[in-house]
Structure 1
Amino acid sequence: MRAHEAGALHGDLGSRGPAWLRTPVDVNALVPQLWPRNVARAADGALAVAGLGVREIAAEFGTPVYVLDEDDLRSRCREFRAAFPTEDVYYAGKAFLCRAVVRMIAEEGMFLDVCTGGELATALSAGMPPERIGFHGNNKSVTELTRALDAGVGRIIVDSFTEIERLTALARERGVRPAVLIRVTVGVEAHTHEFIATAHEDQKFGFSLAGGAAIAAALRIIDEGVLELRGLHSHIGSQIFDTSGFEVSARRVLALQAQIRDARGVELPELDLGGGFGIAYTTQDDPSAPADLAKRLRKIVDAECAAEKLAVPHLSIEPGRAIVGPAVFTLYEVGTVKSVLLGTDGDGTDARRAYVSVDGGMSDNIRTALYDASYSATVASRESTARPILARVVGKHCESGDIVVKDEFLPADVQPGDLVAVPGTGAYCRSMASNYNHVPRPPVVAVREGRARLIVRRETEEDLLALDVG
């Protein structure tokens, strides 16, 4: 959605009539905060990333394809590291992980947060130093915990009493003392979709603060003396723009830290405030710069530590979406376009919507269907002088909810064969991709200084059939 249309496309579209559709719109314009930093229209009108045109990318790698602006991703890592120079900045690998990205974030001085054995295997195979890895997860298996211990993972974030028992037994067997953090459910309701709000009480993550489980877990670990309790962890959700939730979370977690000190005389040296920092998917989103986040979070922690008479702990944060999300766009090819009548204005003028079907969909971006997420889009292979029309970018899957972009202005001459680009797809698109309808998952291509390299290859029908042993 273009900058001057903020708020115009969300709501009851049919009731607005065609008058609002005649609002002047530049369908060729790119809103900078929505796109990777090295994306622009070239002289021929087509999009280019780091000097390489999207038509060349499509010709070499096909579509759909996730296109990663490598220098954009690296610059966002550096911005977080500069904003948090004395803290540990963990890249949240669940947003998107592959070996090339592991190497990029490692080279930029980042730590890495994983939450499954598969993510841990990817990290280790790419050469990530294990001491710079944090291992999350609400149901880590014995196999996963064993691998983490044997690899020497730096921090294990424990999530249940069962996990404490498992990890304690494994540590005793091996004669090791792994460093752990306790994930605390602080009862903060983040202003985000219910599926990605993770700190309210009625959900699967962590130890309840209100119910007394968090303090019980801390005292058990301290009293048993097998695991090294380094600190507490809190994560309140995702796609968050307001730091007030972090303030409440820090206050409650640090109050727990004071309780632990008073009960056992132990002042925990670390505090992880999690991630969830929002990005701009449309012009309605207003994310904070890393430097602003750092200033606010430090102010919050300093104030709460002073109130509880605690030494300021060593802080950690876990940005994932904020680093990889804006650095990627998805490139599709249009297959069909059809016009659908929305209603008729009082003067008899029809209000219509174009359904622009592309060669991907909910198998490469489930977020619109799952979270009611909003995205932007543009015709990427050319410029157009045609009038703007209301469009919905949809996929090829056999589902009416297979929508990539709910509402966007595209040129009226959008047609089969055009390339359409959707920005902001770096986080939770490839990592949540599926083979629904037996559609192979797209590749990921990294572009830097005018050169593209394949970092995750496209799946093939042969890949799908290789798993089908029947």
Structure 2
Amino acid sequence: MKLQGTMSIRENELYIGGVSCRELKEKYQTPLYVFDEELVRNNCREYVKHFKVNENNNKVAYAGKAFLPIHMCKIINEENLYLDVVSGGELYTAHKSNFPMERILFHGSNKTIEEIDLGIDLGVGRFVVDNYYELDLLQRICERKNTKQAVYFRITPGIEAHTHDYIKTGQIDSKFGFALSNGDLHDAIESLKNYNNIELVGIHAHIGSQIFDVEPYLDEVKIMMNLVKEIKDSYNINITEVDLGGGVGVYYTQDDEPRTIKEFCEQIIEKSQQVCQEIGIKVPTLIIEPGRSIVANAGSTIYTVGSIKDIKDVRTYVSVDGGMTDNIRPSLYQAGYECAIANKIGQDKTNQVTIAGKCCESGDILITDVDIMDIESGDILIIASTGAYGYSMASNYNKIPKPAVVSVQNGKNKLICKRQSYEDLLHLEIL
């Protein structure tokens, strides 16, 4: 297993943020999400530095869907990032954390009337409009409230990034945004003359997730900057903000070869300057929306090993006290991970096993056929790089309570999300 962030080994035990996994298990029980806060903050600072937030007034908006407890909102605020939310629940979480509402970008392909009402009442900085239905709703609600709302139009630029089919979003056949190739976007811009309470200030595109190549982003830059010029020439509308979305890939297994944050940011900025100079326009404010690349490698999940089933000449199943309820990604789209025994971290790998979850589903497999050190019931198994979409996609399937979340930094640990109790599971049910 590749060590990430502040992970270190002391006498065959794994430490994160200066705290041993054994201590964390004893204090908080398992399953347990562990977040390396120093790595999260360092990733935020890398984006701020290399995306030239201070020099060029660009913006880094953290994609909250990756992981958004109140504590994460506070970190993002302290590191001077913007925040991308996609639901009323995420928006309300940001509000309760006292996150500045003017630094919110409100996404979502089917915002409800209640969500739009909440966003306007709280003073959301930018709505990212995805379709005509939302455009009509937003206009009617703004008119009723006698306010004007700044918006981006989300477009599908026709770029098909090389990633899993379930996380592609930039191609024309997508549920997101106004398409360029069939004229949808131009029709939407033309219709703006009927929407007096909406001001188009930016355009947005997102081409997918877990993307390792910079080239699709450079293609996106070219399309978007030419679109800025076209909108100005054809409709006399100044697009001052261009949001290029997120999707920067990260390391999960040895098959992954991600670029650095620095490489992505510098090449995007360089390409933007080049294209704008060629077509004779001012470089707009650039926005990027990283989520996974900020939190994925900073999060790990620790489990306690339970039953071990050795099927002779077939496979050895090692079951843990969690599974698809705390990490659905392996079952959902065959996501790969690395693991280790945290209390035997320096030992040789002598066994090949399959890590199974505890759910009553044959598909509840976390890692298939992984080489690992000698393993026994009661050992602490750690799966690395679960920081993105683990907790945020967790469920109560089989009536399994959601795990706790703890932040570690400089030898200290802090509970940021409590473990659900059985009483919590029944809290909304009526006797």
Deviation per residue, 1:363-395 (Å, 9 max, x gap): 000000101100000000224646522121110
Deviation per residue, 1:196-242 (Å, 9 max, x gap): 10111222110111111111212322563421111100000100011
The answer for the alignment partner of 1:39 in structure 2 is 7
The answer for the alignment partner of 1:143 in structure 2 is 114
Q: How many residues align?
A: 427
Residues 222, 229 of structure 1: 8 Å contact kept: no
Secondary structure class of the residue paired with 2:426:
helix
The TM-score, its normalising length taken from structure 1, stands at 0.88
In structure 2, distance between residues paired with 1:467 and 1:149: 28
Tell me the amino acid that sits aligned with residue 464 of structure 1.
Answer: L
The answer for the alignment partner of 2:180 in structure 1 is 209
**Deviation above 6 Å: which 4+ runs of structure 1?**
none
In structure 2, distance between residues paired with 1:227 and 1:323: 32
Secondary structure class of the residue paired with 1:274:
coil
Tell me the amino acid that sits aligned with residue 298 of structure 1.
Answer: I
**Do structure 1's residue 79 and structure 2's residue 46 form an aligned pair?**
yes
The answer for the alignment partner of 2:401 in structure 1 is 440
Residues 352, 370 of structure 2: 8 Å contact kept: yes
Q: 1:304 to 1:223 in 2, by over 3 A?
A: farther
Q: 1:301 to 1:340 in 2, by over 3 A?
A: farther
In structure 1, distance between residues paired with 2:272 and 2:416: 39
In structure 1, distance between residues paired with 2:245 and 2:346: 44
In structure 1, distance between residues paired with 2:426 and 2:197: 47
Q: Residue 460 of structure 1: CA displacement?
A: 1.2
Tell me the amino acid that sits aligned with residue 431 of structure 1.
Answer: S
Q: 1:268 to 1:222 in 2, by over 3 A?
A: farther
In structure 2, distance between residues paired with 1:420 and 1:409: 13
Deviation per residue, 1:276-300 (Å, 9 max, x gap): 0011001221222222111111122
Structure number with larger C-alpha Rg: 1
Q: Structure 2 matches for 1:308-327, cutoff 5 A?
A: 308-327=279-298
Q: Residue 337 of structure 1: CA displacement?
A: 1.4
In structure 2, distance between residues paired with 1:255 and 1:406: 46
Residues 184, 253 of structure 1: 8 Å contact kept: no
Tell me the amino acid that sits aligned with residue 74 of structure 2.
Answer: R
The answer for the alignment partner of 1:371 in structure 2 is 333
Unaligned regions of 5+ residues in structure 2, if any?
A: none
Is 325-334 or 83-92 further displaced after alignment? 83-92
Residues 2, 338 of structure 2: 8 Å contact kept: no
Q: 2:15 aligns with which of 48, 51, 76?
A: 48
Deviation per residue, 1:242-284 (Å, 9 max, x gap): 1221122222223332221121222311100000001100122
Q: 2:375 aligns with which of 385, 405, 414?
A: 414
Secondary structure class of the residue paired with 1:285:
coil
Tell me the amino acid that sits aligned with residue 303 of structure 1.
Answer: Q
Is 212-221 or 198-207 further displaced after alignment? 212-221
**Do structure 1's residue 451 and structure 2's residue 412 form an aligned pair?**
yes
The answer for the alignment partner of 1:70 in structure 2 is 37
Q: Residue 38 of structure 1: CA displacement?
A: 0.9
Secondary structure class of the residue paired with 1:381:
helix
Q: 1:392 aligns with which of 354, 358, 368?
A: 354
Q: Percent identity?
A: 40
Residues 186, 201 of structure 1: 8 Å contact kept: yes
Residues 201, 238 of structure 2: 8 Å contact kept: no
**Superposition RMSD in Å:** 1.5
Residues 9, 346 of structure 2: 8 Å contact kept: no
Q: Structure 2 matches for 1:344-383, cutoff 5 A?
A: 353-383=315-345
Residues 281, 376 of structure 1: 8 Å contact kept: yes
The answer for the alignment partner of 2:66 in structure 1 is 95
Secondary structure class of the residue paired with 1:81:
helix
The TM-score, its normalising length taken from structure 2, stands at 0.96
Tell me the amino acid that sits aligned with residue 399 of structure 1.
Answer: E
